Amino acid sequence: MKKAKTYNNVTKQFYRPEIYKCLDCCKTIKRAVTIAERTVVTLNGIIKMTHGGYRCKNPECEAKDRTYRSAAADALVLPKRTFGLDVVLLIGYLRLKKHQTLDETHEEVSERLKEMGTSISRREIMYLFDDFCKVMRAASDAAQDEEWKKQVEKNKGIIVSIDGIQPDKGNETIYIVRDALTGRMLASENATESSAERLKEILEPVVRLNLPILGTISDSQKAEVLALSQLWPDVPHQVCHFHVLRDAGQPIFDEDKQVKTEIRKNLQTKIRNLRKQIKSQMKRAGEAEAGQLAILDDYSAAVQTAVNRDGTAPLDYAGIASYDELDKIAASLEKLDKKWGPLSLECKRRLDRLKKILLIREAWRGQIESLKRMRQWVLSAEHILDVSWADPKVEGDSPAQSSCHPKESHSSVKEQKKNKCVTNKEVEIRFDSWRTEIGKQLEEGVLSQKECERLKDFLRVLDNAGPYLIQCYDLPDFPRTNNDTEGTIRKMKTGYRRITGRKNWNPYLLRYGRYIAFYDWWGRDQKRWQQLTKLAEKIDPAYFRQMQIEAKLVQSGQLKRFRFRHQTEKYLESLEDRWDAVTANAAINTIAQTTSLH
Protein backbone atom coordinates (compact mmCIF):
# COMPACT_ATOMS: atom_id res chain seq x y z
CA MET A 1 0.00 0.00 0.00
CA LYS A 2 1.22 3.46 -0.88
CA LYS A 3 2.36 5.43 2.15
CA ALA A 4 0.22 8.47 3.00
CA LYS A 5 1.87 11.80 2.35
CA THR A 6 2.78 13.82 5.42
CA TYR A 7 2.88 17.62 5.68
CA ASN A 8 4.62 20.07 7.98
CA ASN A 9 3.16 23.30 9.43
CA VAL A 10 -0.43 22.12 9.11
CA THR A 11 -3.20 24.36 10.42
CA LYS A 12 -6.29 22.61 11.77
CA GLN A 13 -9.57 24.30 10.94
CA PHE A 14 -13.19 23.36 11.50
CA TYR A 15 -15.88 24.59 9.10
CA ARG A 16 -19.54 24.81 9.97
CA PRO A 17 -22.51 26.32 8.11
CA GLU A 18 -22.71 30.11 8.12
CA ILE A 19 -26.34 29.94 9.31
CA TYR A 20 -27.40 28.82 12.78
CA LYS A 21 -31.16 28.40 12.40
CA CYS A 22 -33.19 26.01 10.28
CA LEU A 23 -34.57 27.81 7.22
CA ASP A 24 -37.97 26.08 7.64
CA CYS A 25 -38.76 25.98 11.37
CA CYS A 26 -36.13 28.45 12.65
CA LYS A 27 -34.92 25.97 15.29
CA THR A 28 -31.19 25.76 16.04
CA ILE A 29 -29.33 23.35 13.79
CA LYS A 30 -26.72 21.00 15.25
CA ARG A 31 -23.83 18.95 13.94
CA ALA A 32 -25.01 15.62 12.58
CA VAL A 33 -22.34 14.32 10.15
CA THR A 34 -18.79 14.93 9.01
CA ILE A 35 -18.97 15.80 5.34
CA ALA A 36 -15.20 15.80 4.78
CA GLU A 37 -12.05 15.49 6.80
CA ARG A 38 -8.89 15.93 4.75
CA THR A 39 -5.73 17.91 4.18
CA VAL A 40 -5.95 20.78 1.70
CA VAL A 41 -2.89 22.41 0.10
CA THR A 42 -3.52 26.07 -0.73
CA LEU A 43 -1.21 28.86 -1.85
CA ASN A 44 -1.46 30.41 1.62
CA GLY A 45 -0.77 27.30 3.65
CA ILE A 46 -1.72 23.71 4.39
CA ILE A 47 -5.01 23.18 6.20
CA LYS A 48 -6.31 20.09 8.01
CA MET A 49 -9.94 20.71 7.22
CA THR A 50 -12.92 19.25 9.02
CA HIS A 51 -16.21 20.04 7.31
CA GLY A 52 -19.16 19.50 9.61
CA GLY A 53 -22.66 18.93 8.28
CA TYR A 54 -25.54 20.32 10.38
CA ARG A 55 -29.20 19.32 10.49
CA CYS A 56 -32.37 20.40 12.20
CA LYS A 57 -33.15 18.23 15.23
CA ASN A 58 -36.82 19.16 15.30
CA PRO A 59 -38.64 15.85 14.55
CA GLU A 60 -41.66 17.74 13.21
CA CYS A 61 -39.62 19.82 10.71
CA GLU A 62 -40.14 18.90 7.06
CA ALA A 63 -36.47 19.69 6.33
CA LYS A 64 -35.04 17.58 9.17
CA ASP A 65 -33.08 15.43 6.66
CA ARG A 66 -31.51 18.44 4.94
CA THR A 67 -27.76 18.78 5.55
CA TYR A 68 -26.43 22.33 5.84
CA ARG A 69 -22.90 22.85 4.49
CA SER A 70 -20.22 25.50 4.94
CA ALA A 71 -19.90 27.80 1.92
CA ALA A 72 -16.32 28.63 3.00
CA ALA A 73 -15.34 24.94 2.97
CA ASP A 74 -16.87 24.41 -0.46
CA ALA A 75 -15.02 27.50 -1.74
CA LEU A 76 -11.73 26.21 -0.35
CA VAL A 77 -11.35 23.04 -2.40
CA LEU A 78 -13.12 21.03 -5.09
CA PRO A 79 -14.71 17.66 -4.19
CA LYS A 80 -12.18 14.83 -3.69
CA ARG A 81 -9.19 17.07 -4.35
CA THR A 82 -6.10 17.78 -2.25
CA PHE A 83 -5.04 21.05 -3.84
CA GLY A 84 -7.18 24.08 -3.17
CA LEU A 85 -9.31 26.02 -5.60
CA ASP A 86 -6.74 28.86 -5.62
CA VAL A 87 -4.13 26.43 -6.99
CA VAL A 88 -6.57 25.30 -9.70
CA LEU A 89 -7.26 28.91 -10.74
CA LEU A 90 -3.54 29.73 -10.76
CA ILE A 91 -2.84 26.82 -13.11
CA GLY A 92 -5.61 27.96 -15.46
CA TYR A 93 -4.27 31.53 -15.39
CA LEU A 94 -0.71 30.44 -16.18
CA ARG A 95 -1.78 28.14 -19.00
CA LEU A 96 -4.32 30.37 -20.77
CA LYS A 97 -3.30 33.91 -19.84
CA LYS A 98 0.48 33.53 -19.65
CA HIS A 99 0.58 30.83 -22.36
CA GLN A 100 2.96 28.70 -20.31
CA THR A 101 3.78 25.14 -21.30
CA LEU A 102 2.97 22.28 -18.97
CA ASP A 103 6.58 22.16 -17.74
CA GLU A 104 6.73 25.92 -17.19
CA THR A 105 3.47 25.80 -15.22
CA HIS A 106 4.75 22.85 -13.17
CA GLU A 107 7.97 24.72 -12.38
CA GLU A 108 6.21 27.92 -11.25
CA VAL A 109 3.56 26.16 -9.14
CA SER A 110 6.22 23.90 -7.56
CA GLU A 111 8.22 27.01 -6.67
CA ARG A 112 5.18 28.52 -4.94
CA LEU A 113 4.48 25.33 -2.97
CA LYS A 114 8.14 24.77 -2.09
CA GLU A 115 7.91 27.49 0.53
CA MET A 116 5.40 25.34 2.44
CA GLY A 117 7.53 22.21 2.20
CA THR A 118 5.31 20.37 -0.28
CA SER A 119 5.39 19.52 -3.97
CA ILE A 120 3.15 18.71 -6.91
CA SER A 121 3.66 16.28 -9.80
CA ARG A 122 3.59 17.19 -13.48
CA ARG A 123 0.64 14.86 -14.07
CA GLU A 124 -1.28 16.51 -11.24
CA ILE A 125 -0.92 19.82 -13.10
CA MET A 126 -2.65 18.18 -16.08
CA TYR A 127 -5.49 16.90 -13.89
CA LEU A 128 -5.93 20.28 -12.19
CA PHE A 129 -6.04 22.06 -15.56
CA ASP A 130 -8.89 19.71 -16.49
CA ASP A 131 -10.57 20.74 -13.23
CA PHE A 132 -10.04 24.41 -14.06
CA CYS A 133 -11.79 23.93 -17.41
CA LYS A 134 -14.79 22.38 -15.65
CA VAL A 135 -14.79 25.14 -13.01
CA MET A 136 -14.75 27.86 -15.69
CA ARG A 137 -17.62 26.20 -17.53
CA ALA A 138 -19.64 25.76 -14.33
CA ALA A 139 -19.04 29.40 -13.33
CA SER A 140 -19.97 30.71 -16.79
CA ASP A 141 -23.73 30.35 -16.39
CA ALA A 142 -24.99 33.60 -17.91
CA ALA A 143 -28.11 33.46 -15.72
CA GLN A 144 -25.89 34.12 -12.66
CA ASP A 145 -23.88 36.96 -14.23
CA GLU A 146 -25.58 40.07 -12.89
CA GLU A 147 -23.00 42.50 -14.28
CA TRP A 148 -23.52 41.17 -17.80
CA LYS A 149 -27.30 41.43 -17.37
CA LYS A 150 -26.86 45.14 -16.67
CA GLN A 151 -25.13 45.51 -20.05
CA VAL A 152 -27.94 43.53 -21.69
CA GLU A 153 -30.50 45.84 -20.12
CA LYS A 154 -28.60 48.82 -21.46
CA ASN A 155 -28.53 47.25 -24.95
CA LYS A 156 -32.24 46.35 -24.62
CA GLY A 157 -31.50 42.72 -25.46
CA ILE A 158 -28.99 40.39 -27.08
CA ILE A 159 -28.08 39.34 -30.62
CA VAL A 160 -27.49 35.58 -30.73
CA SER A 161 -24.51 34.48 -32.81
CA ILE A 162 -23.68 30.81 -33.47
CA ASP A 163 -20.76 29.25 -35.29
CA GLY A 164 -19.14 25.84 -35.45
CA ILE A 165 -15.78 24.28 -36.21
CA GLN A 166 -15.06 20.66 -37.07
CA PRO A 167 -11.44 19.96 -36.08
CA ASP A 168 -11.55 16.30 -37.06
CA LYS A 169 -13.41 15.93 -40.36
CA GLY A 170 -16.26 13.45 -40.19
CA ASN A 171 -16.45 13.51 -36.40
CA GLU A 172 -17.53 16.04 -33.78
CA THR A 173 -18.28 19.70 -34.40
CA ILE A 174 -17.75 22.30 -31.67
CA TYR A 175 -20.50 24.92 -31.64
CA ILE A 176 -20.17 28.15 -29.72
CA VAL A 177 -22.99 30.62 -29.02
CA ARG A 178 -22.35 34.21 -27.95
CA ASP A 179 -24.01 37.59 -27.63
CA ALA A 180 -22.77 39.62 -30.60
CA LEU A 181 -23.29 42.93 -28.77
CA THR A 182 -21.28 42.25 -25.60
CA GLY A 183 -19.16 39.30 -26.71
CA ARG A 184 -20.43 37.18 -23.80
CA MET A 185 -20.14 33.43 -24.40
CA LEU A 186 -23.55 31.85 -23.78
CA ALA A 187 -23.03 28.18 -24.67
CA SER A 188 -20.43 25.81 -26.07
CA GLU A 189 -20.99 22.16 -26.93
CA ASN A 190 -19.56 19.24 -28.88
CA ALA A 191 -22.04 17.77 -31.36
CA THR A 192 -21.74 14.55 -33.35
CA GLU A 193 -24.50 15.72 -35.70
CA SER A 194 -25.34 19.15 -37.11
CA SER A 195 -29.09 18.81 -37.42
CA ALA A 196 -31.51 21.61 -36.58
CA GLU A 197 -32.85 19.63 -33.60
CA ARG A 198 -29.38 19.17 -32.13
CA LEU A 199 -28.61 22.86 -32.59
CA LYS A 200 -31.82 23.75 -30.80
CA GLU A 201 -30.63 21.66 -27.86
CA ILE A 202 -27.36 23.60 -27.84
CA LEU A 203 -29.32 26.89 -27.95
CA GLU A 204 -31.62 25.82 -25.10
CA PRO A 205 -29.54 27.62 -22.38
CA VAL A 206 -30.06 30.87 -24.32
CA VAL A 207 -33.82 30.25 -24.46
CA ARG A 208 -33.89 29.66 -20.69
CA LEU A 209 -32.30 33.06 -20.06
CA ASN A 210 -35.64 34.57 -21.11
CA LEU A 211 -33.96 37.75 -22.37
CA PRO A 212 -35.14 39.96 -25.25
CA ILE A 213 -33.67 38.70 -28.53
CA LEU A 214 -33.01 41.56 -30.95
CA GLY A 215 -31.80 39.33 -33.78
CA THR A 216 -29.69 36.32 -34.71
CA ILE A 217 -26.70 35.80 -36.98
CA SER A 218 -25.01 32.68 -38.32
CA ASP A 219 -23.27 31.22 -41.34
CA SER A 220 -25.36 30.24 -44.33
CA GLN A 221 -25.51 26.63 -43.09
CA LYS A 222 -29.12 25.45 -43.47
CA ALA A 223 -29.32 23.72 -40.08
CA GLU A 224 -28.15 26.85 -38.25
CA VAL A 225 -30.59 29.10 -40.10
CA LEU A 226 -33.46 26.66 -39.52
CA ALA A 227 -32.76 26.23 -35.80
CA LEU A 228 -32.53 29.98 -35.15
CA SER A 229 -35.61 30.83 -37.23
CA GLN A 230 -37.68 28.15 -35.46
CA LEU A 231 -36.65 29.25 -31.97
CA TRP A 232 -37.08 32.98 -32.64
CA PRO A 233 -39.34 33.33 -35.70
CA ASP A 234 -40.28 36.96 -35.03
CA VAL A 235 -36.77 38.48 -34.96
CA PRO A 236 -34.51 39.30 -37.95
CA HIS A 237 -31.97 36.65 -38.85
CA GLN A 238 -28.81 37.71 -40.66
CA VAL A 239 -26.52 35.34 -42.57
CA CYS A 240 -22.84 36.25 -42.57
CA HIS A 241 -21.94 38.31 -45.66
CA PHE A 242 -18.39 37.01 -45.53
CA HIS A 243 -19.52 33.39 -45.84
CA VAL A 244 -22.17 34.11 -48.48
CA LEU A 245 -19.71 35.96 -50.72
CA ARG A 246 -17.08 33.29 -50.11
CA ASP A 247 -19.48 30.51 -51.11
CA ALA A 248 -20.82 32.46 -54.09
CA GLY A 249 -17.37 33.27 -55.44
CA GLN A 250 -15.67 29.99 -54.52
CA PRO A 251 -15.56 28.59 -58.11
CA ILE A 252 -14.03 31.88 -59.32
CA PHE A 253 -11.54 31.88 -56.45
CA ASP A 254 -10.56 28.26 -57.16
CA GLU A 255 -9.98 29.05 -60.85
CA ASP A 256 -7.84 32.04 -59.87
CA LYS A 257 -5.82 29.81 -57.56
CA GLN A 258 -5.33 27.27 -60.34
CA VAL A 259 -4.11 29.95 -62.77
CA LYS A 260 -1.67 31.28 -60.16
CA THR A 261 -0.33 27.76 -59.60
CA GLU A 262 0.22 27.23 -63.33
CA ILE A 263 2.04 30.56 -63.68
CA ARG A 264 4.22 29.75 -60.68
CA LYS A 265 5.15 26.30 -62.04
CA ASN A 266 6.21 27.80 -65.37
CA LEU A 267 8.14 30.75 -63.95
CA GLN A 268 9.62 29.63 -60.66
CA THR A 269 12.22 27.11 -61.86
CA LYS A 270 13.41 29.43 -64.63
CA ILE A 271 13.70 32.38 -62.21
CA ARG A 272 15.59 30.24 -59.71
CA ASN A 273 18.10 29.17 -62.35
CA LEU A 274 18.47 32.76 -63.53
CA ARG A 275 19.28 33.90 -59.99
CA LYS A 276 21.98 31.23 -59.72
CA GLN A 277 23.52 32.47 -62.96
CA ILE A 278 23.38 36.10 -61.79
CA LYS A 279 25.03 35.30 -58.44
CA SER A 280 27.72 33.29 -60.20
CA GLN A 281 28.40 36.15 -62.64
CA MET A 282 28.56 38.71 -59.81
CA LYS A 283 31.65 36.98 -58.39
CA ARG A 284 33.57 37.58 -61.63
CA ALA A 285 32.17 41.01 -62.55
CA GLY A 286 33.54 44.44 -61.89
CA GLU A 287 32.07 46.85 -59.37
CA ALA A 288 29.63 48.66 -61.74
CA GLU A 289 28.60 45.47 -63.54
CA ALA A 290 28.10 43.68 -60.20
CA GLY A 291 25.85 46.54 -59.12
CA GLN A 292 23.59 46.10 -62.15
CA LEU A 293 23.54 42.32 -61.68
CA ALA A 294 22.52 42.80 -58.03
CA ILE A 295 19.62 44.96 -59.20
CA LEU A 296 18.55 42.26 -61.67
CA ASP A 297 18.76 39.71 -58.86
CA ASP A 298 16.40 41.92 -56.81
CA TYR A 299 14.01 42.05 -59.76
CA SER A 300 14.12 38.24 -59.93
CA ALA A 301 13.42 38.01 -56.22
CA ALA A 302 10.42 40.30 -56.76
CA VAL A 303 9.13 37.90 -59.42
CA GLN A 304 9.48 34.99 -57.00
CA THR A 305 7.60 36.97 -54.36
CA ALA A 306 4.81 37.80 -56.81
CA VAL A 307 4.21 34.21 -57.94
CA ASN A 308 4.29 32.84 -54.38
CA ARG A 309 1.70 35.08 -52.76
CA ASP A 310 -1.46 33.63 -51.21
CA GLY A 311 -5.03 34.87 -51.42
CA THR A 312 -8.01 34.77 -49.08
CA ALA A 313 -11.57 34.31 -50.22
CA PRO A 314 -13.81 36.10 -50.96
CA LEU A 315 -12.01 39.29 -52.10
CA ASP A 316 -8.25 38.70 -52.17
CA TYR A 317 -7.47 36.89 -55.45
CA ALA A 318 -3.81 35.89 -55.47
CA GLY A 319 -3.71 35.00 -59.19
CA ILE A 320 -4.95 38.42 -60.33
CA ALA A 321 -2.74 40.24 -57.84
CA SER A 322 0.33 38.21 -58.89
CA TYR A 323 -0.33 38.88 -62.57
CA ASP A 324 -0.70 42.62 -61.97
CA GLU A 325 2.57 42.63 -60.04
CA LEU A 326 4.33 40.80 -62.89
CA ASP A 327 2.99 43.43 -65.31
CA LYS A 328 4.45 46.17 -63.11
CA ILE A 329 7.80 44.38 -62.96
CA ALA A 330 7.85 44.02 -66.77
CA ALA A 331 7.00 47.72 -67.21
CA SER A 332 9.77 48.68 -64.80
CA LEU A 333 12.30 46.55 -66.72
CA GLU A 334 11.38 48.34 -69.96
CA LYS A 335 12.29 51.66 -68.34
CA LEU A 336 15.84 50.41 -67.68
CA ASP A 337 16.65 50.31 -71.40
CA LYS A 338 15.27 53.80 -71.95
CA LYS A 339 17.53 55.31 -69.27
CA TRP A 340 21.09 53.97 -69.26
CA GLY A 341 20.91 50.36 -70.43
CA PRO A 342 23.17 47.45 -69.45
CA LEU A 343 26.88 48.14 -68.91
CA SER A 344 28.04 44.79 -70.28
CA LEU A 345 27.01 41.99 -72.59
CA GLU A 346 26.40 39.67 -69.59
CA CYS A 347 24.06 42.20 -67.98
CA LYS A 348 22.16 42.54 -71.25
CA ARG A 349 21.83 38.76 -71.51
CA ARG A 350 20.47 38.45 -67.99
CA LEU A 351 18.09 41.36 -68.53
CA ASP A 352 16.81 39.89 -71.80
CA ARG A 353 16.44 36.49 -70.15
CA LEU A 354 14.39 38.00 -67.33
CA LYS A 355 12.13 39.79 -69.86
CA LYS A 356 11.70 36.56 -71.80
CA ILE A 357 10.68 34.68 -68.65
CA LEU A 358 8.10 37.38 -67.84
CA LEU A 359 6.65 37.05 -71.37
CA ILE A 360 5.56 33.52 -70.48
CA ARG A 361 2.74 35.06 -68.43
CA GLU A 362 1.04 36.29 -71.61
CA ALA A 363 -0.35 32.77 -72.15
CA TRP A 364 -2.75 33.38 -69.25
CA ARG A 365 -3.72 37.00 -69.98
CA GLY A 366 -7.10 36.01 -71.42
CA GLN A 367 -7.95 33.94 -68.34
CA ILE A 368 -6.83 36.74 -66.03
CA GLU A 369 -9.03 39.28 -67.83
CA SER A 370 -11.96 36.87 -67.53
CA LEU A 371 -11.22 36.38 -63.81
CA LYS A 372 -11.15 40.14 -63.29
CA ARG A 373 -14.61 40.46 -64.82
CA MET A 374 -15.93 37.67 -62.62
CA ARG A 375 -14.25 39.01 -59.48
CA GLN A 376 -16.00 42.30 -60.12
CA TRP A 377 -19.32 40.59 -59.36
CA VAL A 378 -18.04 39.80 -55.84
CA LEU A 379 -16.59 43.30 -55.38
CA SER A 380 -19.82 44.94 -56.52
CA ALA A 381 -21.91 42.85 -54.12
CA GLU A 382 -19.54 43.70 -51.27
CA HIS A 383 -19.64 47.39 -52.20
CA ILE A 384 -23.43 47.40 -51.82
CA LEU A 385 -23.52 45.30 -48.63
CA ASP A 386 -20.82 47.29 -46.82
CA VAL A 387 -22.92 50.46 -47.43
CA SER A 388 -19.82 52.50 -48.23
CA TRP A 389 -21.93 54.16 -50.94
CA ALA A 390 -23.87 55.88 -48.14
CA ASP A 391 -20.76 57.85 -47.15
CA PRO A 392 -20.41 61.02 -49.28
CA LYS A 393 -16.62 60.76 -48.98
CA VAL A 394 -16.59 57.53 -51.00
CA GLU A 395 -19.81 58.03 -52.97
CA GLY A 396 -17.93 58.41 -56.24
CA ASP A 397 -15.59 55.47 -55.63
CA SER A 398 -15.92 52.38 -57.75
CA PRO A 399 -16.61 49.08 -56.04
CA ALA A 400 -13.14 47.84 -56.84
CA GLN A 401 -11.58 50.86 -55.14
CA SER A 402 -13.77 51.16 -52.07
CA SER A 403 -14.37 47.50 -51.28
CA CYS A 404 -12.49 45.99 -48.43
CA HIS A 405 -12.40 42.69 -46.68
CA PRO A 406 -15.55 42.04 -44.58
CA LYS A 407 -13.34 41.14 -41.61
CA GLU A 408 -11.76 44.58 -41.78
CA SER A 409 -14.88 46.60 -42.54
CA HIS A 410 -17.16 45.58 -39.66
CA SER A 411 -16.39 48.57 -37.42
CA SER A 412 -16.73 51.06 -40.26
CA VAL A 413 -20.04 49.51 -41.28
CA LYS A 414 -21.40 50.02 -37.77
CA GLU A 415 -20.47 53.69 -37.87
CA GLN A 416 -22.04 54.16 -41.31
CA LYS A 417 -25.30 52.58 -40.15
CA LYS A 418 -25.34 54.81 -37.07
CA ASN A 419 -24.52 58.04 -38.87
CA LYS A 420 -26.23 57.50 -42.23
CA CYS A 421 -29.29 55.62 -40.96
CA VAL A 422 -29.11 53.14 -43.82
CA THR A 423 -32.16 50.88 -43.78
CA ASN A 424 -32.80 47.36 -44.99
CA LYS A 425 -35.14 48.76 -47.63
CA GLU A 426 -32.50 51.07 -49.12
CA VAL A 427 -29.90 48.32 -49.31
CA GLU A 428 -32.43 45.84 -50.70
CA ILE A 429 -33.51 48.22 -53.50
CA ARG A 430 -29.92 48.90 -54.52
CA PHE A 431 -28.96 45.22 -54.29
CA ASP A 432 -31.98 44.03 -56.30
CA SER A 433 -31.29 46.63 -58.98
CA TRP A 434 -27.69 45.45 -59.30
CA ARG A 435 -28.81 41.80 -59.24
CA THR A 436 -31.20 42.44 -62.15
CA GLU A 437 -28.54 44.35 -64.09
CA ILE A 438 -25.88 41.62 -63.98
CA GLY A 439 -28.55 38.97 -64.61
CA LYS A 440 -29.15 40.56 -68.01
CA GLN A 441 -25.60 39.65 -69.02
CA LEU A 442 -26.72 36.03 -69.30
CA GLU A 443 -29.08 36.97 -72.14
CA GLU A 444 -26.98 39.63 -73.87
CA GLY A 445 -24.31 37.18 -75.03
CA VAL A 446 -21.40 39.29 -73.75
CA LEU A 447 -20.06 36.50 -71.55
CA SER A 448 -18.21 33.33 -72.48
CA GLN A 449 -19.76 29.95 -71.71
CA LYS A 450 -17.58 29.50 -68.63
CA GLU A 451 -18.44 32.99 -67.37
CA CYS A 452 -22.15 32.27 -67.85
CA GLU A 453 -21.83 29.10 -65.75
CA ARG A 454 -19.93 30.98 -63.05
CA LEU A 455 -22.51 33.79 -63.02
CA LYS A 456 -25.39 31.33 -62.71
CA ASP A 457 -23.69 29.65 -59.71
CA PHE A 458 -22.91 33.07 -58.19
CA LEU A 459 -26.50 34.30 -58.48
CA ARG A 460 -27.90 30.98 -57.25
CA VAL A 461 -25.98 31.24 -53.97
CA LEU A 462 -27.07 34.85 -53.49
CA ASP A 463 -30.70 33.96 -54.22
CA ASN A 464 -30.60 31.08 -51.70
CA ALA A 465 -29.36 33.47 -49.03
CA GLY A 466 -31.77 36.17 -50.19
CA PRO A 467 -34.36 36.09 -47.37
CA TYR A 468 -31.63 36.47 -44.73
CA LEU A 469 -29.01 38.47 -46.61
CA ILE A 470 -30.25 42.00 -45.83
CA GLN A 471 -31.61 42.07 -42.27
CA CYS A 472 -28.99 43.89 -40.18
CA TYR A 473 -29.30 47.53 -41.25
CA ASP A 474 -32.41 48.58 -39.34
CA LEU A 475 -30.87 47.79 -35.94
CA PRO A 476 -27.85 49.73 -34.63
CA ASP A 477 -24.73 47.64 -33.96
CA PHE A 478 -26.23 44.58 -35.67
CA PRO A 479 -23.13 42.97 -37.29
CA ARG A 480 -23.32 41.96 -40.93
CA THR A 481 -20.66 39.26 -40.53
CA ASN A 482 -20.07 36.47 -38.03
CA ASN A 483 -16.34 37.12 -37.98
CA ASP A 484 -16.18 38.13 -34.30
CA THR A 485 -17.43 34.68 -33.34
CA GLU A 486 -14.97 33.11 -35.76
CA GLY A 487 -12.31 35.24 -34.12
CA THR A 488 -13.07 33.53 -30.81
CA ILE A 489 -12.35 30.15 -32.42
CA ARG A 490 -9.18 31.56 -33.95
CA LYS A 491 -8.00 32.73 -30.52
CA MET A 492 -8.39 29.19 -29.18
CA LYS A 493 -6.20 27.89 -31.98
CA THR A 494 -3.49 30.55 -31.67
CA GLY A 495 -3.53 30.22 -27.87
CA TYR A 496 -2.75 26.52 -28.15
CA ARG A 497 0.00 27.18 -30.68
CA ARG A 498 1.57 29.79 -28.41
CA ILE A 499 1.51 27.35 -25.50
CA THR A 500 2.91 24.29 -27.27
CA GLY A 501 4.41 25.48 -30.55
CA ARG A 502 2.43 22.74 -32.32
CA LYS A 503 0.48 23.45 -35.47
CA ASN A 504 -2.11 20.65 -35.14
CA TRP A 505 -4.75 21.93 -32.71
CA ASN A 506 -7.43 19.31 -33.53
CA PRO A 507 -7.08 17.06 -30.42
CA TYR A 508 -6.83 20.12 -28.16
CA LEU A 509 -10.04 21.68 -29.47
CA LEU A 510 -11.91 18.37 -29.34
CA ARG A 511 -11.01 17.89 -25.69
CA TYR A 512 -10.99 21.45 -24.34
CA GLY A 513 -12.91 23.52 -26.90
CA ARG A 514 -16.25 23.41 -25.05
CA TYR A 515 -14.49 24.79 -21.94
CA ILE A 516 -11.86 27.27 -23.08
CA ALA A 517 -14.35 29.03 -25.36
CA PHE A 518 -15.55 30.78 -22.19
CA TYR A 519 -12.05 32.13 -21.50
CA ASP A 520 -12.52 34.66 -24.32
CA TRP A 521 -14.92 36.47 -21.97
CA TRP A 522 -13.23 35.99 -18.60
CA GLY A 523 -9.67 36.62 -19.78
CA ARG A 524 -10.25 40.07 -21.27
CA ASP A 525 -9.24 42.03 -18.16
CA GLN A 526 -8.36 41.57 -14.50
CA LYS A 527 -11.78 42.70 -13.30
CA ARG A 528 -13.54 39.86 -15.12
CA TRP A 529 -10.96 37.37 -13.88
CA GLN A 530 -11.72 38.43 -10.31
CA GLN A 531 -15.41 38.00 -11.09
CA LEU A 532 -14.71 34.46 -12.33
CA THR A 533 -12.85 33.72 -9.09
CA LYS A 534 -15.83 34.82 -6.99
CA LEU A 535 -18.27 32.77 -9.08
CA ALA A 536 -15.97 29.72 -8.88
CA GLU A 537 -16.08 29.88 -5.09
CA LYS A 538 -19.88 29.65 -5.20
CA ILE A 539 -20.10 26.54 -7.40
CA ASP A 540 -22.33 23.86 -5.92
CA PRO A 541 -20.28 20.65 -5.38
CA ALA A 542 -23.15 18.60 -6.84
CA TYR A 543 -23.09 20.77 -9.98
CA PHE A 544 -19.33 20.29 -10.30
CA ARG A 545 -19.76 16.50 -10.08
CA GLN A 546 -22.35 16.76 -12.84
CA MET A 547 -19.74 18.60 -14.95
CA GLN A 548 -17.30 15.76 -14.31
CA ILE A 549 -19.84 13.17 -15.48
CA GLU A 550 -20.64 15.19 -18.63
CA ALA A 551 -16.92 15.56 -19.40
CA LYS A 552 -16.41 11.81 -19.05
CA LEU A 553 -19.28 11.10 -21.46
CA VAL A 554 -18.05 13.65 -24.01
CA GLN A 555 -14.48 12.39 -23.88
CA SER A 556 -15.42 8.69 -24.07
CA GLY A 557 -16.02 8.86 -27.83
CA GLN A 558 -12.77 10.79 -28.34
CA LEU A 559 -10.89 8.22 -26.25
CA LYS A 560 -12.26 5.32 -28.30
CA ARG A 561 -11.18 6.97 -31.56
CA PHE A 562 -7.73 7.62 -30.09
CA ARG A 563 -7.32 4.00 -28.98
CA PHE A 564 -8.43 2.69 -32.37
CA ARG A 565 -5.99 4.91 -34.26
CA HIS A 566 -2.99 4.23 -32.03
CA GLN A 567 -3.66 0.67 -30.82
CA THR A 568 -5.84 -0.81 -33.56
CA GLU A 569 -5.24 -4.51 -32.92
CA LYS A 570 -5.54 -4.18 -29.15
CA TYR A 571 -8.73 -2.17 -29.49
CA LEU A 572 -10.34 -4.72 -31.83
CA GLU A 573 -9.32 -7.58 -29.51
CA SER A 574 -11.01 -5.80 -26.60
CA LEU A 575 -14.22 -5.52 -28.65
CA GLU A 576 -14.06 -9.23 -29.45
CA ASP A 577 -13.56 -10.08 -25.76
CA ARG A 578 -16.51 -7.89 -24.77
CA TRP A 579 -18.64 -9.55 -27.45
CA ASP A 580 -17.76 -13.01 -26.11
CA ALA A 581 -18.50 -11.91 -22.53
CA VAL A 582 -21.92 -10.45 -23.42
CA THR A 583 -22.85 -13.52 -25.49
CA ALA A 584 -21.75 -15.90 -22.74
CA ASN A 585 -23.72 -14.03 -20.08
CA ALA A 586 -26.80 -14.07 -22.30
CA ALA A 587 -26.46 -17.85 -22.79
CA ILE A 588 -26.06 -18.42 -19.04
CA ASN A 589 -29.15 -16.33 -18.29
CA THR A 590 -31.16 -18.24 -20.89
CA ILE A 591 -30.14 -21.59 -19.38
CA ALA A 592 -30.95 -20.36 -15.87
CA GLN A 593 -34.43 -19.17 -16.95
CA THR A 594 -35.12 -22.49 -18.71
CA THR A 595 -34.03 -24.46 -15.62
CA SER A 596 -36.26 -22.39 -13.32
CA LEU A 597 -39.28 -23.03 -15.56
CA HIS A 598 -38.76 -26.79 -15.32
Q: Give residue-wise pLDDT tens across range 440-467.
A: 888 888 889 999 999 999 999 999 888 8
* CA 464 – CA 468 distance, rounded (Å): 9
220 contacts 284 by C-beta, under 8 angstroms: no
* CA 475 – CA 418 distance, rounded (Å): 9
Q: Give residue-wise pLDDT tens across range 470-490.
A: 999 988 889 999 888 888 888
Q: Write down the CATH number for the domain with range 142-240+483-517.
A: 3.30.420.10
Report which residue type is found at 62. Answer: E
CA distances from 393 to 274, 402, 416, 420, 521 (A): 47, 10, 11, 12, 36
pLDDT score at 419 = 41
Geometric angle at alpha carbon 83, from 559 and 40, rounded to 5°: 140
pLDDT score at 168 = 67
| Host H or E run for residue 496 | helix 483-500
Contacts of residue 519, Cβ cutoff 8 Å, sequence gap at least 6: 96, 136
376 contacts 382 by C-beta, under 8 angstroms: no
* CA 8 – CA 481 distance, rounded (Å): 58
* CA 85 – CA 42 distance, rounded (Å): 8
pLDDT score at 402 = 40
pLDDT score at 406 = 44
Three state DSSP letters for 11-29: EEEEECCCCCECCCCCCEE
Q: For the chain, how many residues are written?
A: 598
pLDDT score at 70 = 93
pLDDT score at 392 = 62
Residues of the chain short of pLDDT 70, as ranges, are: 1-2, 168-170, 392-420, 597-598
* Residue 525 burial class via C-beta count within 10 angstroms: exposed 0-12, middle 13-18, buried 19 and up: exposed
* Residue 115 burial class via C-beta count within 10 angstroms: exposed 0-12, middle 13-18, buried 19 and up: exposed
Q: Where are the domains of the chain?
A: 1-77, 142-240+483-517, 567-597
pLDDT score at 300 = 93
